[in-house]
Structure 1
Amino acid sequence: MKTIFPPPITQLPEADIPLEGVTAYLSQANSHQTLFMQFEHDVDLPEHSHAAQVGFVLEGRIELNIGGTTHSYTKGDRYYIPAGMKHSGKIYAGYADITFFDEPHRYSARES
């Protein structure tokens, strides 16, 4: 898969995310994480919850069911999932975003 992200992003550590076909670059801070993600395959996300999440859609489409209401987001959209809110969804192949997690340990760097 050809990345949409430039070298300053692709030189970040890759995040260890247990989803097939995702490439995610991890920017780690003391209080949060920012991920630059790109999906090669469709992915179904089972219902789950965690700290607050904000996403900025760069390419493609994602459908999210947030608190019982389904939303579809495409390039240029942003979404917000409050802390503890149950959500699920479908990510379509070709999707890319920048995602902010309001927790510092959501994902770890992939071992080389």
Structure 2
Amino acid sequence: MSSKFPPVVTRLPQADIPLQGVTAYLSQGKDQQIIFMEFAEEIDLPEHAHKAQWGFVIEGRLDFKIGDAELRTYRKGDYYFIPEGVKHTGRIYAGLMVMDHFDQPDRYGVKKS
């Protein structure tokens, strides 16, 4: 899959994310991570929880159910916040590009060659 992200992103290490059809780039900080992700296929996300996550939709569509809230569709320009420990689930559509900030330095590791 040819990336739509610019070289300043694609030069970052690729993140090891256990989802089919995702290409992800990892910007690692001491106490947090920023992940730039592109999805080539649709994915149903199983319900899960982790430390706080703030995300921004760069392109495409994402359906999220965060906690007890109703399912909501996020599109280009929308952002979402998932507080620490709150369960969430959703559907990712092919073509989605997002930038996610995780308040967790070890959420994802670098992909091994």
Post-superposition shift, 1:68?
2.5
Q: How many residue pairs get matched?
A: 112
CA distance in 1, matches of 2:20, 2:76: 22
CA distance in 2, matches of 1:32, 1:89: 23
* TM-score for both structures, normalised by structure 2: 0.97
CA distance in 1, matches of 2:18, 2:40: 14
* TM-score for both structures, normalised by structure 1: 0.98
| Higher alpha-carbon deviation: 66-75 or 39-48 | 66-75
Quote the sequence identity (%).
Answer: 54
CA distance in 1, matches of 2:68, 2:16: 28
Post-superposition shift, 1:48?
0.4
Query: Which residue number corresponds to residue 3 of structure 2?
Result: 3
Alpha-carbon displacement from aligned partner over 1:64-98 (angstroms, at most 9, x marks no partner): 01012211100000000000000000000000010
Equivalences for 1:3-42 in 2 at 5 Å? 3-42=3-42
Letter in 2 for 1:87: H
Letter in 1 for 2:100: T
What is the RMSD computed on CA atoms of the aligned residues?
0.6
